[in-house]
Structure 1
Amino acid sequence: MNSKNNLVKSPKYIQKLYSSIKKWEKHYKITLKIIKNDYKITLKEKIKNNGKIRFIFLTISEKPKFYKIKIIERNLNKSCNNDSYKLEVENDIQIDNVVKDLETVMKRKEKARFYPDFPF
């Protein structure tokens, strides 16, 4: 199924989230999938940045309530490893917070926001 069909079936807060991230379509290919009680939004970077391409996976689960953002930076140079980060928030599916966290990741500011004590 394509993202538009999935969007029609999804709750209002998912539709609101999807419409808020549509402004990033210039930089990311956006897809929405529904698997059981989970809504999965995948953003694939269209422009290669420093020899890396970035994938952002947002999962919102209704039962139990949580959302998870996973970031994978795939190195186009096969000799290097991929970088991976993950943020998981339980019992909080406030769309404004989800959008804020997702925009932080899309602006490449997640290391300072989510891992302030980790020496990158």
Structure 2
Amino acid sequence: MNLTVEDLAAIDDKLSGRHIDLDPSGYFIIYLDRAAGLIYAKHFTNVIDDRGLAVDPETGKVIPARLKVERTHTTVFSGRTAKELCVKIFEETQPCPVTQLDHAAYLGREFVRAEVALVTGLEYVQD
């Protein structure tokens, strides 16, 4: 069976709606700096409460997933490629700011999407 681009997008969209457990060591906001030719990943810490929600460790307030929140990041990583960014985060940073394999896999996929957008000029919106 030959899959079309539309088929792949439909599979991806369906899987994006599944439940995931949040990483207790934090989350990343990924964005591009086209002028510099870089992919950035800001790391923020969080605590997971008994409901499985991410909360700000300083305020105890739930961190909304879709709203803009003013928080201070703990670290900013940057790279020219997805691989360069992954090496910095997963191999060179100790302790590693990612503690769950599904989170690491998600970040790898997002970094590749960001890299493609950077090279092609397409818009990048983190999933």
User: What TM-score comes out, normalization by structure 2 length?
Assistant: 0.28
Structure of greater relative contact order (alpha carbons < 8 Å, 6+ residues apart): 2
Query: Which is richer in strand?
Result: 1
User: What TM-score comes out, normalization by structure 1 length?
Assistant: 0.29
Q: Which has the larger radius of gyration?
A: 2
